Structure 1
Amino acid sequence: MQVIQAAKALAAQLSALDLLACRGTQSLSVPCEVEDLVGWLNAQGVTPRLYWQPREASAAGYAVLGEARAFDSLVALQVDMQAQAQAQAQAQAQPASGSPDYFGGVAFDAQAAGWPGFGDCRFILPRVLLQRQQGRCTLSVNLCFDDRPPAEELAAAQACLAAIAPERPLPPVAHGSYQRCDTPTRPEWAHWVSQVTQPERLQQLPKVVLSRETCLTAERVPSPWALLGRWQAEARHCFHFGVQWATGTALIGCSPERLYRRQGQQLVTEALAGTARRGRDTAQDEALAGALLADKKNGLENQCVYQQLLTQLEPLAQ
């Protein structure tokens, strides 16, 4: 069924709930049909809106609409996850529905000035979650009955479902003029490079990665979801993500590597050095990749990263 019909089906299930028996966190799901998660998100008016598509083609992609519960620290998130696990263990008479999915992130540097509205840490339990994996889609709604009266929580969930709009094609990203401002400027950048390449600095820090911020100002700001859709089409073998806590500000990105993945006590990282431009076809891609692997400078940088990871993580590992 189309997503609008799926939302109506969920709304009907909500109306049939026994409010006197509602407690804890509950999730209801129905199958649906959606062609493009990003196009669906772009058509919605509810915030927050989040998107996550892993690099692997067989992995599940997610589109998030609204929030049932929010957390501003990892400690608060972990407390809630533990409470959910305990509640499921105690509900012997009910079939286990699995742990709910939370979405969000933390700042790289909690002390640095962040973007307005993002903060140091924010995770949410989605109000509505659209999941797509290998062509199959599921629309889910989450309810948290421990935070407020069941009737209010039910009304909030119904309102979010009623606000869902049908999927529409992404608008084209218009080409127009813009102003560009780089921080640092070119002279400042040259000064930084001169500083970090001094022999005494290199003895302390054998590998330094400099970065800059580029601000583009345009007359017409494009839709962040349309821009993400454009990037995604041109960089398929990447992790694609988008976060829009409120209208007017969004974070979107496409990363070719996974910083880290933690499952229980196991940590896997792809923090590698070196980049290369993409080729025109697969053969040229393979040739460029081979040249990058054979590059001595890149090999040295990778060794620096590898050694730093061991130095930082070995004291914490078993």
Structure 2
Amino acid sequence: MLPLDPQQAAARTWFESLRTRICAVFEAIEREAGSDAAFDYLPWHRVDPTGAPGGGGVRGVMKGQVFEKVGVNVSTVGGSFEGDFAKTIHGAADDPSFFATGISLVAHMANPHVPAVHMNCRFLVTAKRWFGGGADLNPPLPIATDTDEFHARLATACAAHPGAGDYPRFKAWADEYFYIPHRQVHRGVGGIFYDHLEGDFDENFAFTRAVGEAFLDVYPRIVRRRMDAAFTPADIAQRDAWRGRYAEFNLVYDRGTSFGLKTGGNVDAILMSLPPVATWA
């Protein structure tokens, strides 16, 4: 067990509580669809390169009728970055020690009319302390009303915390980050993305909680609206081709994937973001 200071403990506790509530809502949606699917939880433990205990986490995965594959992971890890990787992390160039706790979620949906989604919130400590995270919508078949509602809810979360939230900036950041250069396309219809939010812990933590609550409010509503929509084989083909783009981004460009693999995280938990089925031309 890693020793935690009050800020680290508060962040970890909230991320774990958000995981519990999200999983309960997703399982309830499966019940509404007549499925008995439930999350399977796999605890994992990490050993730091120094040989000391390095924390760990819990991988949660459900494969159901509505959620073809959804992963909701929580982790709390710490220790020392190896080699030159420390130079790429905010505040770790001179001291490679670190702490990180957070929640990461990716949902790939059976019905092509239900958008896939990604959400992540995290708290990191190096020589600096900061929050990062966001949420972005990834529909194979975009529907304007869903996109608008998703963005509006995140904008409301930002507006409620003007000291930390900046919707225009964070939206632009998501548009820039979730872009696939070799395809010259965006991964989805965006959302918000932020990082290195440091300074006032209470204010930044409150904003990060608001982002998590916004996701828990808006995304299940969109799922319930679309999960019974009729679809065609052409729609499935579009979904699976789009999933190929999603996989390309996560394996080539995603910083979270790189961070997890380079810090000795659980490989199955890190790669839970990949879709169960995808196609390439």
Same fold? TM cut 0.5: no
TM-score (norm 2): 0.28
Which structure carries more helix by proportion? 2
TM-score (norm 1): 0.25
